[in-house]
């Protein structure tokens, strides 16, 4: 675990042994995943110090050196802040996890759209006295609820984006699907592409992107002919769970776009858990998102046992 501390606008990182012999520039390139433009701005803005001195970025660091990064200065955003009563699951100086309600977009779809979850998160951060370039690391469909991860700084967003690409951010969903599954566990490996005949739909396509979904059956609701399942993804394609479950004749309950019956006002899909290693402190973070629907869609279950 990295030893870090915040002092005003500065982040202090005590150099660990695994960084020994790296240059300052290498740390920003290979550990923090900073772009060339970002590195240029850090250099020109004199936002990085090594042991209280502005060193050449080719300088190598040694264990127990202290690198200081001016990370917490105000950074104006183009996103309109909008008040929302947000269920915050985790927050620190670097990131936050929100339990997204259903019927709200993850981000604005047009400049005049001020009603997305991102607008609400920007407002929340601003009310905490921070003006930040907040970024969503992944997204959920408008009618899907649950955990969404946001970065408070562009540099943190870079690291989290890379972690997502490397499948180091694990997300678990709970879903209600029509019918009963033939096995308690299963994996769906089918490529997903756009449906040329429908603007918002996706479909199984041999020319689509690779997609893998794992599922586990938790309960069978025999009276309603529904199965309560969990899903985890190796990939993050648009509508992936919805398309995959529909392709094996178990569409999500309420998901009329993909063949589900309108037994609920929305598709019965909830991102119940997110797990990742903190990009700065290297602590293990695990967040659980309680169900928000009223009236309830999902049966009463212990989400912390998932």
- C-alpha–C-alpha distance, residues 89 and 290, integer Å: 10
Catalytic residue from among 52, 75, 141, 234: 141
Structure tokens at 285: 């973070």
Q: Could you confirm whether 141 is annotated as catalytic? A: yes
Which residues, listed in sequence order, are joined to residue 285 by a DSSP beta bridge?
276
**Beta carbons of 1 and 283 less than 8 angstroms apart:** yes
- C-alpha–C-alpha distance, residues 154 and 136, integer Å: 11
Ramachandran angles phi, psi of 139, nearest 5°: -140, 165
Nearest in space to 29 (alpha carbons), one of 19, 20, 39? 39
**Beta carbons of 134 and 76 less than 8 angstroms apart:** no
Cis omega before residue 165 (within 30°)? no
Active site residues: 141
């Amino acid at each position: 675990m990295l030893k870090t501390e915040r002092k005003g606008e500065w982040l202090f990182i005590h150099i660990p042994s695994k960084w020994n012999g790296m240059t300052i520039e290498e740390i920003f390139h290979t550990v923090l995943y900073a772009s060339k433009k970002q590195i240029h701005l850090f250099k020109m803005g004199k936002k990085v110090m090594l042991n209280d001195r502005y060193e050449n970025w080719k300088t190598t660091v040694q264990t127990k050196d202290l690198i200081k990064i001016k990370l917490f200065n105000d950074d104006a955003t183009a996103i309109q802040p909008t008040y929302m009563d947000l269920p915050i699951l985790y927050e620190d100086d670097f990131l936050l996890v929100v339990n997204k309600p259903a019927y709200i977009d993850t981000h604005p779809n047009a400049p005049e759209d001020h009603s997305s979850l991102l607008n609400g998160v920007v407002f929340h951060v601003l009310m905490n006295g921070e003006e930040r370039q907040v970024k969503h690391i992944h997204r959920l469909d408008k009618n899907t609820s649950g955990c969404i991860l946001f970065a408070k700084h562009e540099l943190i967003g870079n690291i989290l984006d890379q972690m997502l690409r490397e499948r180091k951010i694990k997300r678990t969903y709970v879903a209600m699907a029509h019918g009963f599954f033939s096995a308690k566990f299963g994996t769906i490996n089918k490529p997903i592409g756009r449906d040329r005949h429908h603007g918002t739909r996706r479909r199984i396509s041999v020319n689509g992107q690779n997609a893998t979904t794992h599922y586990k059956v938790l309960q069978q609701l025999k009276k309603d002919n529904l199965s309560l399942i969990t899903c985890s993804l190796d990939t993050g394609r648009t509508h992936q769970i919805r398309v995959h479950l529909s392709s094996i004749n178990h569409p999500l309950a309420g998901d009329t776009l993909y063949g589900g019956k309108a037994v609920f006002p929305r598709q019965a899909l909830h991102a119940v858990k997110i797990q990742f290693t903190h990009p700065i402190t290297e602590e293990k973070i695990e967040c659980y998102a309680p169900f928000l629907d009223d009236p309830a869609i999902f049966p009463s279950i212990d989400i912390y046992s998932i």
